[in-house]
Structure 1
């Protein structure tokens, strides 16, 4: 049996600045109203940019991740026995803001980041293998690809992939000092006049299962992960190859693994962060894969609404993609000012469009030249 027949998404849960749960996420991205507001979580005095997409009230990242994993497992209908055999693959930023709060009265200390996956697995009753991914903005999508590979070849039946980033002062300061944040307070992917990215909260979990394991317990199917691809371009520490070589190879690998022609893809949820160089590179990558048809495939980057969640972006955008496909509508690309000659794409700008085919790509890229592509299909 081919790998592509083995993988089902049977449960999802997500929080972002758009709200808690899949319904809030779906409604927010379809409304297309950006969630960027002044940062209240920490002091931004002296910063060039003072906005991000944050929830007003959040717990520690460990507690939010626990809730997300538990929520996804409940949505998938996993009982205690099913959870006991499930693995947990976690994408997270690391650093002190990723750790559980230390007990007020002393006692056991919080786990270091490499142990966080085990800590969460214990709290949620997951007894399978654990992995932690800290590979920048492809952490979560790489975790999905690894889980898909292991499930596809029969090593595992079920994996919960979780990822989390809550906007915190350290990374915020680095992006602001590097002038990567949009000084005009808006993310404008693929648009003329785009000026950079803005950060956003995301804590997400999805349950991935083999078709056999899902069928054995009559589990719901939210979507199918039909293909996945990863590639590096090794061009520059921070910049992608201007012709999109690495991302193009990742997309081509996902199509091959899915056994689908490029013409089958009906939507691309792009990595596009709103930065001039990377958006143009991504448009070039799509041109390399799809040729003249690249200008006819609906494209949007939902980072324009919920912000860039760093290590969690790949999982948040996967959930956005499967929810919108299942709903039959494709989300808008907010912040649009006008076309840019370096990005000759069919960007969704005015209102959500109907989904014409059941197949979509969600793309991610990271510093260091890492690129991922996940190809999903509606049930």
Structure 2
């Protein structure tokens, strides 16, 4: 933390996940390390009239508010927060914006007050696919500014028919039932379930409570392209600026980054633009290993960034880099050091988790391995 108080470093002390792979980080990272996708025919609702009929979703019809409440409680318990400590922690949510959002926020707010002791939902981010990474950055700002000692960030999206229909009608989903980031013949993303909660706190707070951090959020960067409502800026300059800002905040050189969990939606234009962004930061030849875990767990929209942050944290802890699944061969516009076929053993100190969204929003989260 260059030029700052080390006690105000932002650390991760609690983490809970529900994904299409199942409950907890274990099934999620095991699938990411094996490169084993969760995509299957959609059974949650009728897709008979759709072009694409695959997604990564859990069986049945889980309720978003109930699952958010549960993972917030699990993350708080994992961080060792008692009700008094939780009562001082802001809760930042990231959700998909629709007619149910207000009711979901109200239900989660009331439930976590009763079960965990959190005072209220402090804010709700609905800014497309960078919503939860933006919420994580907002929470980190609260901590570094001394406005809180602990904060909880939670995000959720469960595959549902309305958004599925919109993506399908726009021909935005992969028609072959796989997501192939940075590969030749890539055809787009597939949607996926994710409900995630993360407890952030200052290093000083964690030390005083005797809690060992899982990782640190060393830096973050946010930019906007203002290029097009849904297409990325072809040169990737906005995402490159977000990465540069995250590194500068932490005082970290590009060469110190040992892994990138890329946005990697498997879209033709987006993957090419992201490749150019990475080349702008790291150079075209000797950049860090890259993979996109969306190739395994799908695209969870507003919750995707927090899910990918969780995978990145757990991968640093295990010393295994996730596989870039679905790969069919080299693409001329995506020359990167991709992690293919098997997890790569590595123990980098720093990793990046990147996300981009419609409207030109970009975020970069710099994760530091726990000492």
TM over 0.5: yes
Map of 1:142 onto structure 2: 134
**Cα distance in structure 1, aligned partners of 2:121 and 2:69:** 17
Task: Determine if contact 2:110/2:120 at 8 Å carries over to the other structure.
Answer: no
What SS is found at the alignment partner of 2:31? helix
**Aligned counterpart in structure 1 of residue 306 of structure 2, from 315, 338, 346:** 315
Give 1:59 deviation, angstroms: 2.5
State the partner residue of 1:101: none
Give the deviation of 1:363 after TM superposition: 0.2
Question: Aligned with 1:224: secondary structure?
Answer: strand
**Scaled by the length of structure 2, what TM-score is found?**
0.95
Q: 1:41: Cα distance to partner?
A: 0.6
SS in 2 for 1:154: coil
Q: Write the distance in 2 (CA, Å) between the matches of 1:238 and 1:113.
A: 27
Structure-2 residue corresponding to 1:325: 316
Name 2:74's counterpart in structure 1. Answer: 71
Secondary structure of 2:306's partner? helix
Decide which of 18, 33, 40 is 1:30's aligned counterpart.
Answer: 33
User: For 2:357, which of 334, 352, 366 is the aligned residue?
Assistant: 366
| CA gap 1:54/1:284 in 2 versus in 1, 3 angstroms | same
For residues 77-98 of structure 1, the C-alpha deviation after alignment (integer angstroms, 9 at most, x for no partner) is: 1111111111100000032455
* Displacement of 1:122: 2.2
Aligned with 2:125 (options 133, 136, 141): 133
Aligned match for 2:86, one of 83, 86, 110: 83
| Kept after mapping to 2: 8 A contact 1:359/1:378 | yes
1:43 aligned residue (36, 40, 46): 46
Over 6 Å off, 4+ runs? none
What is the 5 A alignment of 1:188-267?
188-267=180-259
Q: Is contact 2:66–2:108 with CA below 8 Å preserved after alignment?
A: no
- 2:159 equivalent in structure 1: 167
Give 2:63's aligned residue.
60
| Alignment partner of 1:16 out of 8, 13, 19 | 19
Aligned equivalent of 1:349: 340
Structure 1 counterpart of 2:97: 94
- Matched residues, number: 366
Structure 2 CA distance for aligned equivalents of residues 204 and 176 of structure 1: 25
Which consecutive unaligned segments of at least 5 residues does structure 2 have? none
SS of 2:152's partner is: strand
- Counterpart Cα distance in 2 of 1:58 and 1:8: 34
1:147-191 superposed Cα distances (whole Å, 9 cap, x missing partner): 111101111111100000000000000000000100000000000
Q: Deviations 1:275-331 (Å, cap 9, x if unpaired)?
A: 0000000000011111135x4410000000000000000100000000011000000
TM-score (norm 1): 0.93
> Residues 348 and 66 (structure 1 numbering): CA distance in 2 closer, same or farther, change over 3 Å?
same
Q: Could you tell me how far 1:344 is from its partner in structure 2?
A: 1.0
- Structure 1 residue 216 displacement after superposition: 1.1
Listed one character per residue, the Cα deviations across residues 36-78 of structure 1 (whole Å, up to 9, x for unaligned) are 0111110001100011000114531000000010010111111
User: What are the ranges of 5 or more consecutive residues in structure 1 without an aligned counterpart?
Assistant: 99-110
